[in-house]
Structure 1
Amino acid sequence: MAGSLRYRLQPIRKTKMYRYDQYDHLIVKERVAQYRDQVRRRLADELTEEEFLPLRLQNGLYMQRHAYMLRIAVPYGMLSSPQVRMFAHIARKYDRGYGHLTTRQNIQFNWINLEQSPDILAELATVEMHAIQTSGNCIRNTTSDELAGVAADEIIDPRPYAEMIREWSTFHPEFAFLPRKFKIAISGAEQDRAATAVHDIGLHVVKNAEGEVGFRVLVGGGMGRTPIIGSVIREFLPWQHALTYLEAILRVYNQHGRRDNKYKARIKILVKALSAEEFARQVEAEWLDIKDGPATLTAEELQRIAQYFTPPPYETLPATDAGFEGQKTDNKGFANWLKRNVKAHKVSGYAAVILSVKKTGVPPGDITAAQLDFVADLADQYSFGEVRVTHEQNLVLADVKISELFTVWQAVKAQGLATPNIGLLTDIICCPGGDFCSLANAKSIPIAQAIAEKFDNLDFQHDIGDIELNISGCINACGHHHVGNIGILGVDKDGSEWYQVSIGGAQGNNTSIGKIIGPSFSAQQMPVVIERLLNVYVQQRTEEELFIDTVQRLGIAPFKEFVYASPIPTGYTHGEDACVY
């Protein structure tokens, strides 16, 4: 195979996630040594910053407003408890006591000293982690469904395929310097929880009429300056050709993608310029030359990788028990948490628990060293030592016994990780924005906090129901604002920070791009803007209709009319412009 993390024959270790072998350890160790020397040369002024820039980016190190930021790869969002403890250690020793979960299921640290960055990478290597390809014009971390392997609606566990993509793409020499960064997502369930439609390549597991497993392939999705929903270029790709087809797509992109203008360099621009039909034709022609080549997958290879994801030793349990049912009936707080933060599991007697990293007053996605250590301990005790990161910036314990949910709830509540708001208004997706990022036009975190504080009423949030509010500090859309039911984008207006609002975006099986409602707003106006949007929804919704349903039924006109109908206070205090509900 093309990549350096090749498929290798070796004894299978009983585990729930991929483990490095001797080759993985060697190449990561060699990369750390190489990077350590590069940092030494930079500090000695043997390398200019311009020369050092691509070298540090290849290892996930960015220069932000105040310090370096290190982004660590979390392959398809899966972590072992020792890895989570390593994050806690890094937060304490090298950062300011916390990390930030990202929309690519990674974690980043925002206060890193250049001199210490090689030591961090060396420590990460001891728990089989690295920061390779978390930046630069290469294939980034492949993302997937945070409920992979346990989801009740799963067709096929996508993690073995995600791991094969990771191995194939890491250090792939042909795709190390693409026209622009490249992102792949894979979903294996009926419900797309991996946002496949807004990735450069989206793979969605399907079965054909004969029951054979394959992928529906989408290409050219993305957000940023030009948000586009991916086009289906193949309805059914046999799983054996997953890598050969990806290689064909990337070859066409590598050959024809623009390198003269980074704003027009993403594959979505190429697909749009050629048309999806022509792009698909070129991919098929390229694929014919390689489809039965060395990257073709075999049943033996799939089985070898799949055994890394062998289900844990589940007990035979009833679907529920009397103690759990009584706790659910007697405790409203527990019942609310079950409704929002606990998801169905394919194994009877178990559930998947989402830990909300969205407590009011805390920047969305930020998690402290103490919380990370706590989560690692909790995973060891209640979820087979495994933790997952969601692209909504939360964490998951995938295998909790139903009989232990009440105990887990009490524990996570004490640590500030039990806010019952998953999928609700205050489960805000938010990039670090202008507080940290040098690319941002405006701050994101204060807007998220102001909105969360304004609507910090769980009864109201539960009545409003599912609604996605996403915030980005710039057009790069790291906060996925384009696919938020309500999207907020920070913009620069004559040197000051303003916010553009869109509504009607959605991810999942019915992905849509939001539409801008009109002129931008000041930071002080944003809580009132959200309140007015919700007023229209509350007044116009039909029974059981969610916010996105009402927007799609009515269009943006009534929302726009009400938001701009009267002046919006610029010095907002609680109680003004009160919600009608």
Structure 2
Amino acid sequence: MYRYDEFDRRFVADRVEQFRDQVQRRLSGELSEEQFKPLRLMNGVYLQLHAYMLRIAIPYGVLSSRQLRKLAFIARTYDRNFGHFTTRQNLQFNWIALEQVPEILQHLAEVEMHCIQTSGNCIRNVTADHFAGAAADEVDDPRPYAEILRQWSSLHPEFSFLPRKFKLAVTGAAQDRAAIQVHDIGLALTRNALGEKGFTVYVGGGQGRTPFVAKKVRDFLPEAELLAYCTAILRVYNLHGRRDNKFKARIKILVHETGLEELKRQVEDEYAKLQAENETLAVPAAEIARIAGYFAPPAFAALPERSEVFERSRAADAAFAAWVDRNVTAHKQQGYGVVTISLKPIGGIPGDATSEQMELVADLAERYSFDELRVSHEQNLVLPHVRQDDLPALFAELQRAGLGTANAGLVTDIIACPGLDYCALANARSIPIAQRLSERFGDAARQREIGELKIKISGCINACGHHHVGHIGILGVDRKGEEFYQITLGGSGDATCSIGEIVGKGFSTDGIVDAVETVVDTYLAIRNSPAETFLEAFRRVGEAPFIRALYPAEAA
């Protein structure tokens, strides 16, 4: 993983001291809240319903054991002994005292971490495939390019005050695990007919009040042109993006209102202008190689394709076998697996981890995964490089810590934002709905019968729970002081990206879990076979049978 150089260390240390001074001026009354707000947002500090929230940057979701232990220490010392992993591969602390934030930032700096650009109208944390560098289906590792983008975008003088926040995601596999088509810029590593590396470029994706699937603007962009082309896109957005209405300020609105072909013309013109001005921003091959060196594969052992220890354990232990089937993914290196650690225990809060759990995962990463772990945008943790021989022992330790739930990709692997329990923007609670759904579908055999099904819940239209791209999406709304929940069906954040369709009027807090169960039961009744997933079935039959089941009185 990337290590700070001298510039990085000085840069982060200077920012800590700057913010320490700003906090003191706020606490003394020298700065009003209005004056302080843009300063705190630039350092990842939000004012929530009950306390300040601090959002920690985890670039492209990669952590070392040392860093995760530091996050556990902060949770225990400055919060309420837990942290919340988010859909941007970040971590949030929800009960932070403002006067202690500079101390926390200092602790983070000690382990090469910070909170810069985790909020505000700037380029946010660059995200990537959480299986990067390990996945068997990978064209190439996207992390070096995500790191190049991170360095380029950090406090970029031209793009620090954009019309609205801006998000980039990179994937290196045909199976999109980074949801690149619902980002402002999505990049998919590919190779052309000559075998040269480059990117397919998407622009204008996003969720929130007005969801859009991104439009493809380049089939192939040579890798050296990455920064130049991103600069061209951002210059067009910075110039023409709306600043008069924050609800229409994202680049997705610019793409929609301008039209794809006109936007492509403007981007290409701006890119040509950069070249003419000798500002190509071409990334030298030597620099790409230097950054890629930080992400060199670990020292894998030469192992057989199948481990006898692994196979015996799988045959003898049904719980272990079920966990392997759901939570262990094929690795590009023979004899290894990629392990998803579910942060979705039955009845638990999606994405939450206690200090003790974080410390245990740090220990396990050190022992079993070359001291490396990942945060997924689905609010789980990943050990990317685990020997098959070690999987039984790893599973036993996870089980003892309440982290052995075998539900990755199943109906209880729910994404949920913090909702009205924490967020000042929310209209409704997300967490209790997620917990009740998890309990309703908690039976392991029933989950396996249902198969792959992604439920995603947002407590407001900002869509931090990614409900638009849930196979079943749930949006909390306020109706005359009461919480109601709107259902969308057929969304997907993968390579076949789609925005879910609203099926009808919302359901009450008491009725929403029954409504989701009705949707699931309808799917089980109409699917062609157990092999047909919910998404496949929905795309085959459409919304009509689900609407009839959800609203029988209206259908009659």
One-letter identity of the residue aligned with 2:477: V
Aligned match of 1:9: none
Aligned match of 2:191: 207
- Deviation for aligned residue 1:72: 0.3
Aligned match of 2:161: 177
Aligned match of 2:371: 385
Aligned match of 2:423: 437
Unaligned runs of 5+ in 1: 1-16, 568-581
Structure 2 Cα separation of the partners of residues 227 and 322 of structure 1: 49
Aligned match of 1:298: 284
Which runs of structure 2 are paired with 1:54-203 in the superposition (5 Å)? 54-203=38-187
Corresponding residue SS for 1:508: coil
Structure 1 Cα separation of the partners of residues 411 and 496 of structure 2: 19
Corresponding residue SS for 1:351: strand
Aligned match of 1:50: 34
- Deviation for aligned residue 1:298: 1.2
Cα deviation code 1:126-164 (max 9, x no counterpart): 000000000000000000000100100000111110000
Structure 2 Cα separation of the partners of residues 289 and 416 of structure 1: 56
Corresponding residue SS for 1:173: coil
Cα deviation code 1:279-324 (max 9, x no counterpart): 0100000001224636211110111000001111111111112221
Structure 1 Cα separation of the partners of residues 502 and 291 of structure 2: 45
- Deviation for aligned residue 1:357: 0.1
- Deviation for aligned residue 1:361: 2.2
Corresponding residue SS for 1:148: coil
Aligned match of 1:233: 217
Aligned match of 1:474: 460
TM-score normalised by length of structure 2: 0.98
Structure 2 Cα separation of the partners of residues 324 and 449 of structure 1: 33
One-letter identity of the residue aligned with 1:216: T
Asked if 1:515 is matched to 2:505, the reply is no
One-letter identity of the residue aligned with 1:280: K
One-letter identity of the residue aligned with 1:303: A
Structure 1 Cα separation of the partners of residues 307 and 234 of structure 2: 51
Q: Is the 8 A contact 2:225 2:280 kept in 1?
A: no
Structure 2 Cα separation of the partners of residues 522 and 536 of structure 1: 20
Which runs of structure 2 are paired with 1:443-522 in the superposition (5 Å)? 443-522=429-508
Asked if 1:255 is matched to 2:239, the reply is yes
Structure 1 Cα separation of the partners of residues 348 and 96 of structure 2: 21
Structure 1 Cα separation of the partners of residues 551 and 395 of structure 2: 42
Which of the numbers 529, 533, 546 marks the counterpart of 1:559? 546
Structure 1 Cα separation of the partners of residues 381 and 281 of structure 2: 33
Aligned match of 1:525: 511
One-letter identity of the residue aligned with 1:460: R
- Deviation for aligned residue 1:527: 1.2
One-letter identity of the residue aligned with 1:264: K
Q: Is the 8 A contact 2:350 2:434 kept in 1?
A: yes
- Deviation for aligned residue 1:526: 1.2
- Deviation for aligned residue 1:256: 0.3
Corresponding residue SS for 1:108: strand
One-letter identity of the residue aligned with 1:499: Y
Aligned match of 2:400: 414
Corresponding residue SS for 1:214: strand
Aligned match of 1:363: 349
Aligned match of 2:24: 40
**Greater CA deviation, 314-323 or 18-27?**
314-323
Structure 1 Cα separation of the partners of residues 66 and 111 of structure 2: 7
Instruction: Name the % identity.
Output: 56
- Deviation for aligned residue 1:566: 5.4
Q: CA RMSD in A?
A: 0.9
TM-score normalised by length of structure 1: 0.94
Provide the aligned length of Structure 1 versus Structure 2: 551
One-letter identity of the residue aligned with 2:493: Q
- Deviation for aligned residue 1:45: 0.3
Aligned match of 2:537: 550
Corresponding residue SS for 1:478: coil
Corresponding residue SS for 1:25: helix
One-letter identity of the residue aligned with 2:505: P
Q: Is the 8 A contact 2:57 2:91 kept in 1?
A: yes
Corresponding residue SS for 1:362: coil
Corresponding residue SS for 2:274: coil
Unaligned runs of 5+ in 2: none
Which of the numbers 405, 429, 434 marks the counterpart of 2:391? 405
Cα deviation code 1:496-520 (max 9, x no counterpart): 1110000000111101100011001
Structure 2 Cα separation of the partners of residues 294 and 220 of structure 1: 23
Structure 1 Cα separation of the partners of residues 553 and 404 of structure 2: 38
Which runs of structure 2 are paired with 1:276-295 in the superposition (5 Å)? 276-291=260-275, 293=279, 295=281
One-letter identity of the residue aligned with 1:288: A
Cα deviation code 1:157-207 (max 9, x no counterpart): 111100000000001000000000000000001111100000000000111
Structure 2 Cα separation of the partners of residues 322 and 149 of structure 1: 26
Structure 2 Cα separation of the partners of residues 311 and 295 of structure 1: 28
One-letter identity of the residue aligned with 1:321: S
- Deviation for aligned residue 1:209: 0.9
Structure 1 Cα separation of the partners of residues 315 and 222 of structure 2: 48
Corresponding residue SS for 2:294: helix
One-letter identity of the residue aligned with 1:561: R
Aligned match of 2:411: 425
Cα deviation code 1:71-100 (max 9, x no counterpart): 000000000100000100000000000000
Aligned match of 1:312: 298
One-letter identity of the residue aligned with 1:559: F
One-letter identity of the residue aligned with 1:467: L
Corresponding residue SS for 2:303: coil
